[in-house]
Chains A and B, each alone.
Chain A
């Protein structure tokens, strides 16, 4: 990757532009969080979407991927991406640990645990 002085000056302007975009992105993330969406999943989706855009900007510009042509680096990133997705899907596999009629997160605390909780709270 050869960079002349003129190239670098252009880069510097781009860095400052990305900084502005990241700062605005942070403000939007916080602002969006103050809107109370009906579905909690929508709020999470929006926050992660903005975070992904910000992360892409950092990787593309600050980490120079925008100018990266090396197949070695892109191959490394491709493997990394695939395995990252696999990692994030591991929790889905655990749904098999629950009885088929029960969906994750919708179950109630078993009675004996609830009783123990209550006892803990009241100090018995």
Chain B
């Protein structure tokens, strides 16, 4: 029945030559680039337009108080999670579901570690210090960009958990379809990692 509802989940579509989920995921990611792109553009506008003096000036590192060590640690956590995600797909291609599930579980663990570090060492202390989004333009952008990114991480966790637990039943009936779904999940996950690769230097370093 599922194949009747969703055609071309495994076999390539006659027009595109791709299974449809893959093209759909790329189109979705293109829209995501616009979403984050608009916010990066806002960052450029507010930073370049900030006056050199006065309370509206762009804060220095010391003033933001953001730690490159915590940001760098989380960068490594996300990079490793990207590796485990792609390894899960590779394990499925080699017909090893147990290994794939172990990699997916590791990915979820790393994603949650990222969120815990972000909350415990950054968000909560910042709010306690009165440096919330309304503090200045920098923190408004910082919380909007990293908050939206964190929501993407949580969304990814939900999807990966679904494929790890109930969704994995598909492996028994249609392993290729399941592998393709993991590939699409991976595309999304790597994109979230890619966004962070830019957020890290933009917010924590320069």
The bracket for how many chain A residues form the interface is 35 or more
Which of these, B49, B53, B90, B93, contacts A15 with CB under 8 Å?
B90
Say whether chain A's binding surface is mostly helix, strand, loop, or mixed.
helix
Which of these, B55, B93, B197, B206, contacts A33 with CB under 8 Å?
B206
- Contact present for A72 and B16 (CB under 8 Å): yes
**Given A19-B79, A19-B80, A55-B54 contact (CB < 8 Å):** no
Assembled-state Cα–Cα distance A45/B107 (Å):
32
Identify the closest chain A residue to B18 (Cβ).
A70
Write the residues of chain A forming the contact surface with B, with a CB cutoff of 8 angstroms. Answer: 3, 5, 8, 11-12, 15-16, 18-19, 22-23, 26, 29-30, 33, 40, 43-44, 47-48, 50-51, 54-55, 58-59, 61-64, 70, 72-73, 76-77, 79-80, 83-84, 87-88, 90-91, 94, 104-109, 113-114, 117, 120
Q: A5-B94, A87-B40 are in contact. List 17 more A-B contacts (CB 8 A).
A: A15-B90, A29-B200, A29-B205, A30-B68, A40-B206, A43-B206, A47-B205, A63-B190, A72-B17, A73-B18, A84-B34, A88-B37, A88-B44, A91-B49, A104-B48, A117-B54, A117-B55
